[in-house]
Amino acid sequence: MRIKEIKSILEKKGSDFVLFYNLGMEANPNMLYFSGYSGLGALVIPKKQEPFIIAPKMEVEKARKSMIKKVYSMDKKRFFDEIHSIIKRNGIKTRKIALDYNNFTINHYKYFKKQFKSIKTKDISLECLKLRQIKTNKELQILKKGFDYGNKILNKTINNFKDFKTESDVVAFLEYETKKLGLSLSFPAIVASGINGSMPHHEPKNTNFNRGFCVIDFGIKHKGYCTDCTRTVYLGNITKKEKDIYNFLLNTQKNIIKNIEINDNCGEIYGNCVKSLGKDSKYFIHGLGHGVGVEIHELPNLTLSSKDRIKENMVFTVEPGIYFPRKFGIRIEDTILMKKHPIILTKVPKDLLTI
């Protein structure tokens, strides 16, 4: 996607090419974004010439199925060495280059500089993140389809909740349904019952549920694009006070979404949430939301200090939560597509469900 746009960024920065690479277990988000390739190797996009992938022998077949037509085979051990010779062979200038400093380790940078001795490097991470925060129509199609899948799986899971005895049962079911469709998770699903819910990033346990609120945070990946949704259900007999807290958070969440407008400042949206939560805001211990795309967390940032502004075709979460230490937690999270008005992509009921 958007090879034209990244080339024009290279032009502006005076960079001869940009290099993205992946030598680990995780896909490089920008390599995935610009090429559709999520395997091992490197993506080189020159300012002038055609982009190409350099992949280890065992990944070449996979790379050829990406959007990039030119694929070279390489030996992983001499990675930056081979990249250097292929770049030279293609007659690409090597005076100035753009790198993604967010996805470049110090050691790889050292190996890189050994090959490209007199090259000047510039960070392009922010430009990529900014480009990625406004989704194209093609991306929106992929995302919408992804949310259809994600919603279906989460709805089915909540409808089957009576069959589950442990947090692990729920996670197993969520993943089974995801994998059956040939999809993968966008992050390890969180299921946190009772006291466990007081930790926003609790790791699910295979012991019997704790009674009380149960937070379910789940997302899938469809063609490289993430979805994200959290619902909180109640296990057992709820008290009036607990019901009131849930509905208070739900109304806060609904109001935040309803009031989001194009050009809103994300730090202010966060501030308004804190105001709405009043004295409970001290139990709101994470960001209000984040962009969603090839990464589960990208721009915009809906946090206190954020200066990001809401634009058309942004896709981001709104997920206020309150966490009472060593008691319980509640989080309600939707993912929003911003058009003239916000459109909720996570079509899973939010009214409190007691099980």
Binding footprint of a second copy on the chain (CB under 8 A): 25-26, 39-40, 56-59, 61-62, 77, 99, 101-107, 109-110, 123, 125, 166-169, 171-173, 175-182, 184, 187-188, 198-207, 285-286, 296-297, 303-305, 323, 325-326
Smallest gap from Cβ 40 to a second copy, in A, equals 8
> What DSSP line would sit under 280-321, residue for residue?
GGGG--S-SEEE-SSSSSEEEEESTT---B--TT-EEEE--E
CB 54 within 8 A of CB 44: yes
Identity of the residue, 34 or 104, whose beta carbon is nearer to a second copy in the bound complex: 104
Rounded to the nearest whole angstrom, what is the least distance from the CB of residue 67 to a second copy in the complex? 16
Q: Between residues 46 and 56, which has the closer beta carbon with respect to a second copy?
A: 56
For residues 181 and 343, which CB has a smaller minimum distance to a second copy in the complex?
Answer: 181
Residue placing its CB nearer to a second copy in the complex, 35 or 338: 35
User: Can you tell me the distance from the alpha carbon of 88 to that of 349, in angstroms, rounded to the nearest whole number?
Assistant: 56
CB of 109 to a second copy, least distance (A): 6
* Number of CB atoms found within 10 A of residue 172's CB: 16
Work out the burial of residue 97: count CB atoms within 10 Å of its CB; fewer than 13 is exposed, 13-18 middle, 19 or more buried: buried
Closer residue to a second copy in complex, CB, 90/125:
125
Listed in sequence order, the residues at least 6 apart from 287 whose beta carbon sits closer than 8 Å to its beta carbon are 270, 301, 302, 303
Asked if residues 170 and 191 have their Cβ atoms less than 8 Å apart, the reply is yes
Half-sphere exposure of 108 (CA within 13 A, CB side): 20
In DSSP terms, 229 is beta-bridged to: 218
Helix (H, G, I), strand (E, B) or coil at 288: coil
Report the phi/psi class of residue 27: left, alpha or beta, with left for phi > 0 and alpha for psi in -120 to 50. Answer: beta
For 220, list phi and psi in degrees, rounded to 5. Answer: -120, 170
> Which one, 110 or 258, has the nearer CB to a second copy?
110
The answer to whether 176 and 135 have CB atoms below 8 angstroms apart is: no
| 3-state SS assignment for residue 75 | coil
CB 339 to a second copy: min, Å: 29
What gap in Å lies between CA 352 and CA 162, rounded to an integer? 15
Q: Cβ of residue 256: shortest distance to a second copy, in angstroms?
A: 19
Output 23 or 233, the one with its CB closest to a second copy.
23
How near is the Cβ of 326 to a second copy at its closest, in Å?
8
Nearer to a second copy, 30 or 342 (CB): 30
Shorter beta-carbon distance to a second copy: residue 170 or 315: 170
**97, 17 in Cβ contact below 8 A?**
yes
CB atoms within 10 A of CB 14: 12
